[in-house]
Each structure stands twice: as structure tokens, then as C-alpha cells.
Amino acid sequence: MHSSLLPRRSFLLAAAAASLVLAGCGSSSPDHPPIVFVHGNGDTAALWQTTAWRFESNGWPRDRLYAIDVPYPLARDDDTVAQPGRTSAAEHMAFLKAEVDKVLRATGASQVVLLANSRGGYAVRNYIQNGGGDRTVSHAVLGGTPNHGVWAIPGFREGSEFSGTGPFLTRLNAPKNAAGDEVTGPVRWMTVRSDSNDKFAQPDGVWIGQPGTPTNVTAAGPELKGAQNVVFPRIDHRETSFSAVAFDATYRFITGEAPIRTDIAAESAVVLNGKITGLGLNSSDPASGSFSNNRPLPGAQLEVYATDPATGARTGTALLKKAVGADGIWGPLTTQPGVPHEFVISALGYATTHIYRSSLPRSSDLIHLRPERIADADKTADSIVTLTRPRGYLDPARDKMLLDGAAPVGVPAGAGVASAKIKPSGGQRPIAAEFNGERVVGQTWPAAQGHVVLLEISQ
């Protein structure tokens, strides 16, 4: 691994300066340490799919890239109080430690690089400070981690991990040396944040249900003293990890070199895989709740079809039909780049969920899928169609978006939501979502017969 690093200081980088794209694929780095990707609160390993592809497109071996999937990814409301279907800070850290140990055994490496988004950065910091990670981690990159809290209001929900005045963050942020550094050495640290557009680094409490209440947190909340702190204009909370500019900064930090490319190089043949997960404490039990989990949904049925990019209609018989087993794994499926797909999930207690995606340029085992449930308010709709962007939010002031030919309604300013839903009528027909140049076309399906449609943006 190259040891030359950028200086540890805060600076503003224009997005254009970080979009270096050159021809070819491969890396001049002679060594590629294993990288472990750590997702955020309520999220899934699947969000790292495009980041992994960018590393691969720069010559990083696929078998040196690992994305963990916390079974119950939501934090407790109060970290000291057990809460079904949620993980404590200690459980989160222990899970990460166990996964890192697996990676070290599998690769024979002595150290890993940790890349984390949002709450995932808490587990990384806790592991390095308190779990032995100071010996097993060379570099840590935290994207959008609310290191000084989503709020820092004395007396307000201080049992939460996200309280800047609570015991968890107070301990993590305690000075580590005479210089007052908040990071634990000898690990090299970088944070990536937005200049103003991260919903969890806002001075007003609107995104925590307290509009008009000062949070005592600013856009600089994710920064850490002693780290290299990188700022990009207008990126949102998830783009701090999953965008091309975040990849560029991360690659430079790890290797000391610019990446050859920040776009994604297509492969001549694509092998897709992943798992089907559910909702609630028990994925298979609709009565157990509707919160996210990353546990398998045994018995779920999956069908995958190639689709016409112009109409979303199926172009032939199913490429794959499978009922998943106890592990939830649905593949593998060999397909071609440039072909869009429809993934259809059927499971007891869920709506038949049609997920349309534009073409997938590279192989991946992070095509994780989750069926939806229909809300009571939507059951009388002709059809239910959602534009969803898992790797970023929707910002009407920044993004060019269309859903069924019109700007999505009800999307608030400030990059605060990752989806927009409509209930179109007119029977089964093509329907398109467009987001900053990416276009996904699907078909409407009847809600009365228990169908929902997701048009998923990859970027």
C-alpha cells in the first residue's frame, strides 16, 4: 500500500475537480489491501455496490472488497435499553469486529481499510478506540457520520447514539492527546461531508421532528480533529460515501494517487447475485413490524426478466425463477451488460414487488432485494409506483427528476427523502423515472391484485 497521504486539514473541493476520468482500467498500486464497507442506520450492504464497482474499475480485486450486512441495522432509541429488532452500539461494534476478523483470516492480511457511511462510522470509531481496531485497521474513511451528533441538546434524548451530549459520543470525542485530537492513532482518518446539504448535520431540528429547535450542530459536525476533513458542495448525506466525488477522495486517501477513472467500466459478461430480505423482527411474519432488517426471507419467490429499455415490457421468458432457502440467496444469474431488468419478488405477507433497474454494467453479489407492503391508504389505488434512490437523496433545487413525465410532487427541499411515490391510473402501461441523466422504465401493475412497482436509480 502506498503511504503518501494528503495533509490532514479541512478544505473545500469543487466537484468538478474530483471527476477525473481517464481511459483504461487498472491501478499502478502494487498492493490492494482488503476494504470493508460498513453501511449506515437502517441500511444495507447493497448501497456499496457502485463504490465497489469503481474500485474494481481501477484494478482492485473483487475478492479484496467486502460489504457487511448488519442483521438489524437500526440503532436503539436509547442505547441502554434493549429494543427488539435493533442493535446497541456495543452489538454493532462486536459485529464489525467479527467481520473484520473473518476478512483478515480469509485474505491473510494484517490490516484492513474501513469505509463507513453515517452510523457505520460510529461502529468503526468504537472498534478502533475500544475493540482492538487500532492494530487491525490502517485507514478509516467516514462519510457523513454525525460525529458530534445529529443533535447536541442537553437533556434531549441523550441515551441515543446520535446525541452529541450523550455518553456514547462524549466518550468517542474525548481528546486523545495534548493536541486535542478526537481520532485514535496510528490509524489514518478521513471524513467526508457536505458543505450544507446533509440532513443530519443541520442547525435546525426539522429532520428530527423538532422544527424551529436549534440542534447545536452545524454542517461541520461530521469533522474530527486530527483527521483529514474533506468537504464537497451540495452533496447529500448518502453521497458522502456513495458518489463519484467521494470515491475519488477516498481512493486518493488510501493510495496517495488519483484513480484512473471514477466512472464504472463494463464487463463483457455479468453475474448477478444477492439475497432477499424482509421487514420486521421476523422477516416472514407481517405482524412483527415494518422496520428494515437484513435477515433472509426464506421461501420468497424471485423471477428475473430482461426488459425493453423503451417500454419496460419483458422481452422473453424469465431468466431466472427461484424460491430462496434459509440463506435468502437468490442467484447466481448470468446476463449481459446493457440489458435492463425486472426483479419480481413474491412472499407471504408482502405485495408482489416489481423492481425495475437500468442495466447493471458489472458482476455483483450485492443485488439485495426486499419486497414491499401496501399501506392501507394506498390499497384503493389503480397502481403504486415509487422512484427510489438508495444511494442518495432527492433535492428539487439540485437534481433533474421526472416521474411519469412530471416533476415528483411532495419532495421537500433540502435532500431529505430518497423516494417519491405516485398512484397512476390508466391500466398497465410503460412508466419512466429519470434522475440526472439516468432513466429507468418499467410497467405499472394493479395494486388491487397486490402489486407495487419500484423504479430504482443506481447512481
What would the pLDDT profile of 361-387 be if each residue is shown by its tens digit? 999 999 999 999 999 999 999 999 999
Give CA–CA dist 164/120, Å, rounded.
Answer: 16
Dihedral through CA 65, CA 69, CA 70, CA 75, nearest 10? 90
In percent, how much of the chain has pLDDT > 70?
93
- What integer pLDDT is reported at residue 285 of this predicted model? 81
- What integer pLDDT is reported at residue 62 of this predicted model? 97
- What integer pLDDT is reported at residue 9 of this predicted model? 30
Q: Are 304 and 343 in contact (CB under 8 A)?
A: yes
In percent, how much of the chain has pLDDT > 90?
88
DSSP 409-427: TT--SSS-BSEEEE---SS
Confidence of residue 186 (pLDDT cuts 50, 70, 90): very high
- What integer pLDDT is reported at residue 249 of this predicted model? 98
Length of the chain measured in residues: 459
- What integer pLDDT is reported at residue 413 of this predicted model? 87
Q: Please check the confidence at residue 432 and state whether its pLDDT lies above 90.
A: yes
Q: Are 139 and 124 in contact (CB under 8 A)?
A: no
Residues whose CB is less than 8 angstroms from the CB of residue 102 and which lie 6 or more positions away in sequence, other chains included: none
- What integer pLDDT is reported at residue 287 of this predicted model? 75
More confident of the two residues 236 and 2:
236
Cell reading at 435: 434522475
- What integer pLDDT is reported at residue 420 of this predicted model? 97
What does DSSP say about strands 430-435 and 401-403: parallel, antiparallel, or unpaired?
antiparallel
Q: Give the pTM.
A: 0.92
Q: Are 216 and 151 in contact (CB under 8 A)?
A: yes
- What integer pLDDT is reported at residue 444 of this predicted model? 98
Residues whose CB is less than 8 angstroms from the CB of residue 108 and which lie 6 or more positions away in sequence, other chains included: none
Residue 399's nearest CA partner among 433, 435, 432, 446 is: 435
What would the pLDDT profile of 4-28 be if each residue is shown by its tens digit? 222 223 333 333 222 222 222 333 3
Cell reading at 195: 458543505
- What integer pLDDT is reported at residue 286 of this predicted model? 78
Where does residue 173 rank: exposed (0-12), middle (13-18), buried (19+ CB within 10 A)? Answer: middle
What is the mean predicted confidence (pLDDT) over 100-116?
A: 98
What would the pLDDT profile of 313-357 be if each residue is shown by its tens digit? 999 999 999 999 999 999 999 998 899 999 999 999 999 999 999
- What integer pLDDT is reported at residue 292 of this predicted model? 86
- What integer pLDDT is reported at residue 214 of this predicted model? 98
- What integer pLDDT is reported at residue 282 of this predicted model? 84
In 101-177, the DSSP E strands lie at 112-117, 137-143
The H or E element spanning position 52 is helix 49-57
What is the mean predicted confidence (pLDDT) over 228-240?
A: 98
- What integer pLDDT is reported at residue 10 of this predicted model? 32
What would the pLDDT profile of 401-428 be if each residue is shown by its tens digit? 999 999 999 999 889 999 999 999 989 9
Q: Are 218 and 121 in contact (CB under 8 A)?
A: no
Instruction: Please work out, in degrees rounded to the nearest 5, the angle formed at the alpha carbon of residue 452 by the alpha carbons of 449 and 457.
Output: 160
Question: What are the structural domains of the chain?
Answer: 10-255 (3.40.50.1820), 270-456 (2.60.40.2190)
Please give the mean pLDDT across all residues of the chain: 92
Between the alpha carbon of residue 274 and those of residues 74, 147, 204, 361, 391, the distances in Å are 21, 31, 39, 16, 17
Confidence of residue 29 (pLDDT cuts 50, 70, 90): very low
What is the mean predicted confidence (pLDDT) over 210-214?
A: 95
Q: Are 439 and 433 in contact (CB under 8 A)?
A: yes
Give CA–CA dist 393/396, Å, rounded.
Answer: 10
What is the mean predicted confidence (pLDDT) over 293-300?
A: 97
